[in-house]
């Protein structure tokens, strides 16, 4: 430990009055044993570098905290955690099954885990290759049958389900839902219901709750399925439901509002519960603009199709490309009618080999008919298409991010799209003008600020909750695209929605606090243990006492609302955080650090930043077709398919140890009481 000596003479000459005890300083996080602050950085924006791999991160104590440093340490390939060298993991968590000593039970658990994670068929354990591998690894291991493996997988599913349910119910977690539909190869309809929430440590989580069979895609059917799912999980606090832009989903949302409104589980009676999938809407906007395909796209598609139609033509094309010192990698990709981004990819690749296509035209006598050969103008048009569509491709990928906050990016991307449409519509190019006009019409239908009621105001409030922007940025953007009076009206709407949300949360928190006080603390001066011990009071005295209690409650409620308004005003009046350049701000960390200053607004931010703005992952966001269940899972019963899909998601996800204690023991399944049938 480093010691410091103090010169007594100097100390005496600088004598001062005796000060009180200093406030104890919180010890530094243990993560600093693995990081060192980078020298030469701007003191306002400090950075820390990993001692193991050298990666650097922003580390300002107020803006960033140490969460990002801890996350890096968990994933750092150069860092070896000494605690992971233990002979056997502690607890019964499935992620701690690291053993040096052989046991049949642990091997069976890890086998079931492998089958779930790698989506292996149960009959895999009966293959000769697997048997040979196990004999070489450890001859003592008795390989279970496919039925036993299926039971082990279901047992693991039940255990993980109980842990997750315990975490959600104990914490009283408010959740945001997404729903998506799947179809098996037998044309059986399935619906997946996923919960999104931020825990007490401000970590974003995504958990599949149900993968259930539904009779049809009607609104009432979907609504009942969601209601049944939430009741089964004991969830009664619902914030939003993100669905695609189908009319049947409007009916489903109305059904849920009707059912949950009376249970006081919806914020503002479900006024902002409906979130339309932004990736789907953007897909509709772009697809509508491309539905009347330009002749340039058709000609380039025909050229690519010609080259790919036979191995001989493909080889000739590659030879020409080699002579031109061009790479043919990703240059001959065919597009798919239901995926507009595939058209973007096809054009982007073909443009790189324009010279090779032109050489093919000169030397191949059997090339396309003259009217079908891409011209110089066609290639120029394709370059315009690619430049225009690239932005929409990038925005779609941002909307479809599944493990990061997305509700705060919607407004920024909305303004970007509007700016691009406005910019390209002023071009003299007739092709672009026609395309942007079509997109503007569709854009106004779904996202037009003054022309559409389909955009949820919560996505605007999420920008207000960003300390870098707040209400001033929303007002500025409105003024950019709207007339002054209209911009003022919509700014007031966003502010009103923000204040109403805070008032609602104040009311709920005050009621919860009052309820806890009543259930835990007796009223001062009364020691009654039962109803029979309460003395009788005259009717007039009873009325007077009751009126006094009511007056006190009204006064406390009024004070609560006054505090809400004060907190909102204080937050909006505080100076915005200035992040220079591309400086990254972790919003969840910022709100975690500042939650003590804004007790109510932080709870609003916690729920709003849980909202997913897309129902599908990025790889499916560009498709207008449905999602199809693979042949293996389609061969299983609905219960088995649900168990495998849900368990895979839960095992792969970040644990919820900070929300609930580990549950001792495994779920026992009685022999002969298998809830599913194995069809392999």
Predicted confidence band of residue 3 (pLDDT cuts 50, 70, 90): very low
The helix/strand/coil state of 362 is helix
pLDDT (average), residues 439-462: 87
- Write out pLDDT tens, residues 366-375: 899 988 999 9
pLDDT score, position 431:
76
Q: Which residue has the higher pLDDT, 123 or 559?
A: 123
Q: What does pLDDT average to over the chain?
A: 81
pLDDT score, position 89:
42
Predicted confidence band of residue 664 (pLDDT cuts 50, 70, 90): very low
Boundary residue ending a domain (401, 428, 455): 455
Boundary residue ending a domain (408, 430, 455): 455
Total number of domains constituting the chain = 2
User: For the chain, what percent of residues have pLDDT higher than 70?
Assistant: 78
In a domain, 513, yes or no: no
- Write out pLDDT tens, residues 200-220: 999 999 999 999 999 988 999
**Rounded to whole angstroms, how far apart are CA atoms 368 and 488?**
58
In a domain, 521, yes or no: no
pLDDT (average), residues 577-581: 70
CB 647 within 8 A of CB 136: no
Predicted confidence band of residue 75 (pLDDT cuts 50, 70, 90): confident
Alpha carbon distances (Å) from 277 to 111, 283, 616, 678? 38, 10, 8, 36
pLDDT (average), residues 44-50: 88
Nearest Cα residue to 389 out of 280, 282, 277? 282
Predicted confidence band of residue 288 (pLDDT cuts 50, 70, 90): confident
**Rounded to whole angstroms, how far apart are CA atoms 343 and 438?**
18
pLDDT score, position 629:
60
pLDDT score, position 535:
42
pLDDT (average), residues 638-642: 90
Boundary residue ending a domain (40, 60, 85): 85
The helix/strand/coil state of 183 is strand
In a domain, 373, yes or no: yes
Question: Which tokens hold the place of 455?
Answer: 């955009």
In a domain, 307, yes or no: yes
**Rounded to whole angstroms, how far apart are CA atoms 59 and 51?**
15
Predicted confidence band of residue 53 (pLDDT cuts 50, 70, 90): confident
Nearest Cα residue to 357 out of 378, 381, 387? 378
User: For the chain, what percent of residues have pLDDT higher than 90?
Assistant: 45
Examine the pLDDT at 395 and tell me if it is beyond 70.
yes
pLDDT score, position 618:
44
Q: Which residue has the higher pLDDT, 519 or 227?
A: 227
Predicted confidence band of residue 516 (pLDDT cuts 50, 70, 90): low
Examine the pLDDT at 88 and tell me if it is beyond 70.
no
In a domain, 247, yes or no: no
pLDDT score, position 15:
41
Give me the count of residues in the chain: 680
pLDDT score, position 26:
60
- Write out pLDDT tens, residues 130-155: 999 999 999 899 999 999 999 999 99
**Rounded to whole angstroms, how far apart are CA atoms 209 and 558?**
39
CB 373 within 8 A of CB 303: yes
pLDDT (average), residues 265-278: 94
pLDDT (average), residues 20-30: 62
Q: Which residue has the tokens 């990993």?
A: 50
* The three-state (H, E, C) secondary structure of 230-287, written as one string: HHHHCCCCEEEEEECCCHHHHHHHHHHHHHHHCCCCEHHHHCCCEEECHHHHHHHHHH
- Write out pLDDT tens, residues 518-533: 444 333 333 333 344 4
Least confident of 242-251, 387-396, 518-527: 518-527
Q: What does the angle CA 198 – CA 202 – CA 207 come to, to the nearest 5 degrees?
A: 30
**Rounded to whole angstroms, how far apart are CA atoms 603 and 198?**
10
CB 359 within 8 A of CB 294: no
pLDDT score, position 518:
47
Assign residue 325 a region (left: φ > 0; alpha: ψ between -120 and 50; beta: otherwise).
Answer: left
Most confident of 74-88, 447-461, 590-604: 590-604
CB 584 within 8 A of CB 408: no
pLDDT (average), residues 108-115: 96
Most confident of 18-32, 524-538, 549-563: 18-32
Examine the pLDDT at 269 and tell me if it is beyond 60.
yes
Q: Which residue has the higher pLDDT, 123 or 23?
A: 123
Predicted confidence band of residue 114 (pLDDT cuts 50, 70, 90): very high
Consecutive H or E run containing 396: helix 376-399
* The three-state (H, E, C) secondary structure of 606-638, written as one string: HHHCCCCCCCCCHHHCCECCCEECCHHHHCCCH
Examine the pLDDT at 165 and tell me if it is beyond 80.
yes
Predicted confidence band of residue 170 (pLDDT cuts 50, 70, 90): confident
Examine the pLDDT at 283 and tell me if it is beyond 80.
yes
Number of H helices, E strands in the chain: 23, 9
In a domain, 19, yes or no: no
Alpha carbon distances (Å) from 242 to 245, 348, 612, 658? 10, 32, 7, 27
Examine the pLDDT at 549 and tell me if it is beyond 80.
no
Range of the structural domain that residue 314 is part of: 283-455
Examine the pLDDT at 25 and tell me if it is beyond 90.
no
CB 497 within 8 A of CB 460: yes
pLDDT (average), residues 263-276: 92
Q: Which residue has the higher pLDDT, 80 or 664?
A: 80
pLDDT (average), residues 598-618: 91
* Cβ-Cβ contacts under 8 Å for 212 (sequence gap 6 or more): 190, 191, 193, 225, 229, 638, 642
CB 56 within 8 A of CB 48: yes
* Cβ-Cβ contacts under 8 Å for 508 (sequence gap 6 or more): none
In a domain, 449, yes or no: yes
Question: Which tokens hold the place of 165?
Answer: 């349910």
Q: Is the dihedral of CA 357, 358, 361, 367 positive or negative?
A: positive
In a domain, 355, yes or no: yes
Predicted confidence band of residue 434 (pLDDT cuts 50, 70, 90): confident
């Amino acid at each position: 430990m480093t010691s410091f000596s103090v010169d007594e003479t100097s100390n005496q000459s600088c004598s001062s009055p005796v000060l009180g005890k200093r406030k104890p300083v919180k010890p530094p996080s243990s993560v600093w044993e693995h990081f060192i602050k980078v020298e030469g950085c701007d003191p306002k924006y400090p950075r820390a570098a990993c001692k193991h791999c050298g990666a650097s991160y922003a580390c300002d104590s107020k803006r960033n905290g140490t969460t990002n440093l801890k996350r890096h340490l968990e994933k750092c390939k150069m860092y070896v955690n000494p605690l992971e060298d233990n002979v056997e993991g502690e607890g019964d968590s499935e992620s701690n099954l690291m053993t040096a000593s052989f046991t049949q039970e642990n091997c069976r658990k890890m086998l079931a885990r492998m089958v779930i994670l790698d989506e292996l068929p149960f009959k895999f354990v009966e293959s000769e290759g697997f048997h040979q591998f196990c004999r070489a690894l450890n001859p003592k291991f008795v390989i279970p049958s496919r039925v036993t493996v299926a039971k082990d997988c279901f047992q693991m599913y039940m255990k993980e389900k109980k842990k997750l349910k315990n975490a959600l119910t104990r914490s009283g977690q408010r959740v945001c839902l997404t729903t998506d539909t799947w179809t098996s190869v037998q044309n059986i309809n399935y619906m997946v219901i996923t919960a999104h929430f931020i825990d007490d440590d401000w970590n974003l989580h995504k958990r599949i709750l149900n993968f259930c069979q539904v009779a049809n895609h009607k609104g009432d059917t979907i609504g009942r399925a969601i209601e049944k799912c939430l009741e089964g999980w004991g969830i009664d606090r619902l914030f939003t439901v993100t669905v695609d832009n189908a009319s049947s989903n409007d009916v489903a949302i109305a059904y849920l509002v009707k059912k949950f409104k009376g249970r006081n589980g919806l914020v503002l009676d479900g006024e902002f519960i409906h979130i339309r999938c932004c990736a789907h809407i953007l897909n509709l906007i772009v697809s509508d603009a491309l539905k009347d395909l330009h002749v340039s796209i058709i000609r380039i598609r025909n050229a690519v199709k010609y080259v790919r139609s036979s191995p001989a033509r493909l080889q000739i094309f590659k030879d020409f490309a080699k002579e031109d010192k061009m790479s043919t990698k990703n240059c001959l990709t065919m597009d798919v009618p239901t995926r507009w981004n595939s058209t973007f990819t096809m054009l982007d690749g073909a443009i790189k080999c324009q010279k090779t296509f032109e050489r093919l035209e000169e030397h191949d006598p059997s090339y396309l008919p003259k009217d079908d050969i891409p011209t110089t103008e066609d290639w120029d048009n394709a370059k315009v298409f690619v430049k225009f569509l690239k932005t929409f491709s990038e925005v779609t990928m941002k909307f479809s991010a599944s493990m990061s906050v997305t509700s705060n990016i919607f407004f920024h991307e909305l303004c970007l799209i509007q700016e691009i449409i406005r910019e390209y519509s002023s071009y003299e190019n007739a092709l672009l003008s026609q395309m942007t006009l079509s997109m503007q019409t569709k854009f106004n239908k779904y996202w037009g600020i003054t022309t559409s009621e389909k955009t949820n105001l919560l996505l605007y409030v999420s920008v207000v909750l960003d300390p870098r922007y707040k209400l001033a940025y929303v007002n500025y953007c409105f003024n950019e695209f709207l007339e002054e009076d209209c911009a003022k009206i919509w700014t007031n709407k966003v502010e009103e929605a923000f204040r109403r949300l805070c008032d609602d949360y104040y009311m709920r928190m005050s009621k919860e606090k009052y309820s806890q006080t009543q259930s835990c603390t007796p009223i001062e001066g009364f020691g009654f243990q039962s109803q029979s011990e309460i003395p009788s009071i005259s009717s007039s005295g009873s009325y007077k006492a009751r009126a006094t209690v009511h007056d006190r409650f009204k006064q406390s409620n009024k004070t609560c609302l006054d505090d809400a308004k004060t907190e909102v005003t204080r937050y909006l009046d505080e100076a915005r955080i200035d992040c220079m350049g591309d400086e990254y701000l972790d919003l969840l960390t910022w709100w975690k650090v500042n939650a003590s200053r804004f007790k109510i607004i932080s709870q609003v931010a916690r729920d709003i930043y849980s909202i997913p703005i897309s129902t599908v992952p990025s790889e499916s966001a560009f498709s207008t077709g449905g999602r199809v269940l693979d042949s293996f899972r389609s061969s299983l019963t609905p219960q088995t398919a649900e168990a495998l899909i849900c368990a895979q998601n839960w095992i792969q996800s970040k644990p919820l140890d900070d929300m609930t204690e580990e549950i001792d023991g495994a779920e026992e399944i009685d022999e002969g009481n298998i809830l599913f049938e194995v069809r392999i």
